[in-house]
Structure 1
Amino acid sequence: MQQAPKITRRKLSDEVFDRLYEMIETGHFRPGDTLPSERELMDSYGVGRPAIREAMQALERIGLVEINHGQRPKVLQPTATGLFSQIDLTARHMLASSSQSLEQLKEARIFFELGMVEKAAGQASAADIAHLRELLEQQRGHLNKDAQAFIEIDMAFHTGIAGITRNPIFMATSQAMLGWLARFHSSLLHWEGNEDITIMEHAKIIDCIEQGEKGAAVEEMRKHLARARLLYCLSN
């Protein structure tokens, strides 16, 4: 008879976590609700304070509850931004330790940006266009003056295009991708000495979005991203 795998004994905190997670997932506790006190949970589950605290900390790490000193934990509304914040450190480690992962991120960013600008060109409002043009003017204000501010507005410009889709997952994805690229290769977002070209390219992209020309918007974005990547490659 083949030996069966041994039954492992689980930590009490894991059991508490599972029960609380299920209650949150099924809607017994909804966003904005407070969870029972430590004492109430200890009495209800028949476990000690350490098990309750470990379970709460695990729920906090995955963004399901907020813990403030002296208050009962509060259930949070999950968001796409919160989801990416949970994997941020892991993503940074992966990108820092693997050149292949970084190249894959660059490729994914291009694919994503082209999709976002095409969608934006089909549904941008006058307010959206005004916001992008305001960002463009802010970039002009930092031209050849403040490189870091120029990069930050560059990121806001691309995130702004994602925001036009009205899809919070797209916007959170844009923020995460650009944040990781800025950390490892800010030259992919900005190229010193070519700021005026970046501004010119951004202006063309805005014009295409405003006119609803999806194909032209995609092509202008493609050229914009290709130039940045080519300049980066030439520098290495």
Structure 2
Amino acid sequence: MAQPSSPLAPSSEDRIVRRKLSDLVLERLTAMVLSGELKPGDTVPSERDLMARFGVGRPAVREALQAMQMRGLITIVHGERSRVNPLTAEIALHQADTMAQVILSTAPEALDHLKDVRRLFETGMVRIAVAKATPAEIAELREVVHSQRRALGDAPAFIACDIAFHRRIAEISGNPILRAVSEAMLNWVFRYHNDLLHWSGREDVTLGDHLRIIERIEARDAEGAVAAMQAHLDRSTGVIQHSA
């Protein structure tokens, strides 16, 4: 016969978990940044000072500082004092890079989900560009396409120009969060599926699509620009699916 469980038996919620000292130091350092005690551009206290302040050894401090750098909160330069980085949307989204790499590498359906999100995002960005793009910004888009044409035959350079084109459209919004989201999505797509997104032998299709998008932006034709962007992304998606 089963014995009744003791009313004092610890549950998963009651258990006290022993935490690493480096995690506690990381928590304190992060709080110092978020509270403004350590401001962007400030030097981080020396390892010796942190050891004395928190009452821990050098390994815990060093591990915490490395974790801070991985999160984009500080920059560690050999031979110099670490400095606090500005808190930006780019830093926040950068933290998702590792997880994105794992998901896109192990879950085939994740790329389809990312492409769906990108389609919604890019068509929204081009609609904003129609409303806000200045003649100088339109000229910059054309120069990106000219650079991309000059990069024919050089796949890495061609892809870099492709990224620059879509990034520039997002920058026209003037919204740093939208710019950071664009940068993150482009990096995820192009970095983890670079081989699928290089249209070997069909680069002229990409160039033509980009020019049509610019023409619709310049004409202040929102619906036409959205349709041109959708057609461009649908064509590239078709190549990806055919190559997969």
| Fold agreement, TM-score > 0.5 | yes
Which residue is equivalent to 1:89? 98
Give the alignment partner of residue 227 of structure 2, picking from 209, 212, 219: 219
Count of equivalent residues: 235
Aligned-partner SS, 1:122: helix
Cα shift at 1:2: 5.3
The percent of aligned pairs where both chains have the same amino acid is 46
Which residue is equivalent to 2:212? 204
Contact 2:73–2:91 under 8 Å retained in 1: no
* 2:147 equivalent to 1:141: no
* 2:82 equivalent to 1:73: yes
Consecutive unaligned residues of structure 2, counting only runs of 5 or more, are: 1-6
Measure the CA separation in 2 of the matches of 1:160 and 1:6: 51
Distance 1:183 1:59, change over 3 A: closer
Measure the CA separation in 2 of the matches of 1:221 and 1:180: 19
- One-letter identity of the residue aligned with 2:15: K
Give the alignment partner of residue 151 of structure 1, picking from 142, 146, 159: 159
* 2:18 equivalent to 1:17: no
Contact 2:25–2:64 under 8 Å retained in 1: yes
Measure the CA separation in 2 of the matches of 1:213 and 1:152: 27
Instruction: Summarize deviations over 1:177-216 as a string: whole Å, max 9, x none.
Output: 2222223444764423332222222111101112222111
Instruction: Summarize deviations over 1:138-171 as a string: whole Å, max 9, x none.
Output: 222234x333322221221111111111122222
Measure the CA separation in 2 of the matches of 1:80 and 1:147: 30
Q: TM-score by structure 2 length?
A: 0.87
* 2:113 equivalent to 1:107: no
- One-letter identity of the residue aligned with 2:99: T
Which residue is equivalent to 1:3? 9
Give the alignment partner of residue 130 of structure 1, picking from 136, 139, 157: 139
* 2:41 equivalent to 1:53: no
Q: Which stretch shows the higher mean deviation, 9-18 or 212-221?
A: 9-18
- One-letter identity of the residue aligned with 1:232: I
Instruction: Summarize deviations over 1:86-127 as a string: whole Å, max 9, x none.
Output: 332321121010101111111111111111111111100111
Measure the CA separation in 1 of the matches of 2:185 and 2:35: 32
Contact 1:154–1:190 under 8 Å retained in 2: no
Contact 1:181–1:188 under 8 Å retained in 2: no
